[in-house]
Amino acid sequence: MPRPIRTAEILAIGSELTTGATRDTNSGDLARELTEWGVRVHRATALPDDLEAVVTALEQAMATADLTVSTGGLGPTPDDLTREAIAAACRLEPRVDTEILEWLRQLFERRGTSMPEANRKQAWLIDGAAALPNEHGTAPGWWVERPDGHVVIALPGPPREWRPMWREHALPRLRAGHLGIERARRTLRLTGIGESALVGLIGEEVLRGPNPQIATYARTEAVDLVVSAESDAQRSAGQLVDAAVARLRERLDEFIFAEGEQTWESAIASRLNGRTLALVEVGTGGHVAALLGAADYVVHAELTHSDARLDELAEAARTQHGADVGLAVRAEERRENTRVSVAIATSTGTRTERRTAFLAGQEGRRRVALAATAALWQSLAPS
């Protein structure tokens, strides 16, 4: 396969996807794997069972990308049109492959029945195509190499069929050629700052840079800043990412509580550095304990309705349970928002603060937990 595979398009074929009857999860899974192998995915498109629409999408993909991967439309029924569409886009006529046909017949015989005539189309191939084995169904995939080096891979729709076909047959064949380019990626996890405020601190020119690319994602527990790069003539992808992360840390270090897949549970563990924590929550619904998970450093977690002073609750939790740090959190709804009160007790004293968590109810309590955990993380910062 002389043509390097650097770019790709993904086509998810099936009217059940475009009508909303079924969600397309295949495209996201394929895009993630291709990206990990250094292939840039231009588009992921859902298409109905319409021959003209699929042919047009294939022609556009073959004109603009190195690789096209489709899922769906390989069944035996008249609305399964992926083979017909690929043949039409390649200006070729499908033919019955006798080996595939015999495999299908034996497959049905082992099931104690004869092969329906409708399944005959699943034995089709075109010139330049090879079948991809399907150990979990009756629909072989297609591997098509065009004269210009463009590759089309047609996979079945069901994940239990396409995933083994992709990982055991298609991907190894791609990797045997020139697949992707060197890529690197790091994620910085931020607290105490929103996406809009990040633009002012980082600068639009940095966020719009082509290489490395910097993107922000608002998650439920943090704002993630993802830095990705491709190698160039001077530096490796890793060097480009490391340099960009170092510059970002100069501007954002006070907001970065974690990196990669690190969670609040592990971020607090890093700051505690072997110390233990006792927790008391009032009016939070236990969201702080849920956020910290089953952390070994939490020696006591209590949900109470006490109206005692929060600093007293924090100190009592610390001393009564032999913890190094006591954390007390109270949530109080104030109309459409929720007030957060936090007390953090250590052997050197107790620190208290108040914040406002936007929204009330369940979402407000979830935000209270994030605010309280962020306050704890900040209070444990090395002096």
pTM for the model:
0.71
Cβ 191 vs Cβ 377: under 8 Å:
yes
Average pLDDT over residues 59-69: 97
Cα–Cα dist 105/150, whole Å: 32
The CATH number that domain 264-379 falls under is 3.90.950.20
Q: Does domain 7-175 have CATH number 3.40.980.10?
A: yes
Average of per-residue pLDDT across 117-139: 95
Domain 7-175 identical in fold to domain 183-259: no
Which pLDDT does position 2 carry in this prediction? Answer: 61
Q: Where in the chain are the domains?
A: 7-175, 183-259, 264-379
CA 327/CA 281 separation, integer angstroms: 8
Q: Note if the bond before 212 is cis, omega within 30 degrees.
A: yes
pLDDT at position 102 over 80 = yes
pLDDT at 1 over 60: no
What digits encode the pLDDT tens for the residues 173-231?
Answer: 999 988 998 889 999 999 999 888 898 899 888 888 889 999 999 998 999 999 999 88
Dihedral sign, CA of 89, 90, 96, 102? negative
Residue 162 has pLDDT above 60, yes or no: yes
Question: Smallest Cα–Cα separation from 170: which of 210, 143, 140, 207?
Answer: 143
Q: Could you tell me the pLDDT band of residue 120, with boundaries at 50, 70 and 90?
A: very high
| CATH number of this structure's domain 183-259 | 3.30.70.2860
Q: Kindly list the distances between the CA atom of residue 22 and the CA atoms of 17, 18, 46, 158, in Å, as whole numbers in the listed order.
A: 5, 8, 11, 11
